[in-house]
Amino acid sequence: MPLQLAGRTDAGVHATGQVAKFSAPCSIPTERIPDALNRHLDKAVRIRRAWEVEADFHPRFCAKSRTYIYRIELAKIGNPLIQSFATPMRENLDVCAMREAATAFVGTHDFAAWQNAGSPANGTVREVKRLEIRECQIFDSPVLEIEIEANAFLYQMVRNIVGALVVAGKGQLTKSEILALTGARDRRKSPPPAPPQGLCLVEVKY
């Protein structure tokens, strides 16, 4: 059977919690499969653990929720140690305004205005269970982490939401305006997406 994944990621996007299913006729104990496969994988890919599942399990369609983290580096001078997994932002952002704007996305909504072409044709209603914004330090650089969990995501939905939050942090978009954009269901009226390198799939729940 072909490899099945919990979700796809764009070029430049990372994953620390991707889930994959495969079947293989082998006698290797399940707990030893990561070590056996990691010897042959590219150094950018590592299997952390393996477990047996039922034949009808599908990592994408059986998922209850997915969680992504988007990281924005706020340092005035970029840190080369994090440039591959955090998007640099040299302008000041109003984090309180971003948190207020973020509440417009939480809950069950029609997210047609926050998808890009290529989303599955099974409707555009999704439930965002939580959206948190926190400030932290990574390798001594100030970083803003935007963590979002939903039952499922449309294509580039997370990057589009983050793009809107950044615009809100610059004082150019309010919560009420985001709600109006969501109601309009027109992607062309919404802000552009955030760059891919700051995004990481961190957990899939079953």
Strand partners, 107: 128
Element at 160 (helix H, strand E): helix 157-169
Identify the active-site residue in 10, 35, 42, 110: 10
The answer to whether residues 53 and 131 touch, using CB atoms and an 8 Å cutoff, is no
Band of pLDDT at residue 92, cut at 50, 70 and 90: very high
Tell me which amino acid residue 72 is: I
- The total of other beta-carbon atoms located within 10 Å of residue 155's CB is 15
pLDDT of residue 63: 96
42 is catalytic: no
CATH class of 65-205: alpha beta
Over residues 22-78, the pLDDT tens digits come to 988 878 899 999 999 999 999 999 999 999 999 999 999 999 999 999 999 999 999
The ranges assigned to domains in the chain are 65-205
Nearest-10 crossing angle of helices 175-184, 157-169: 150
Question: Does the structure show a pLDDT above 70 at 130?
Answer: yes
Q: Could you tell me which of 204, 120, 110, 195 has the C-alpha nearest to residue 158?
A: 195
- Euclidean distance between CA atoms 126 and 153, whole angstroms: 7
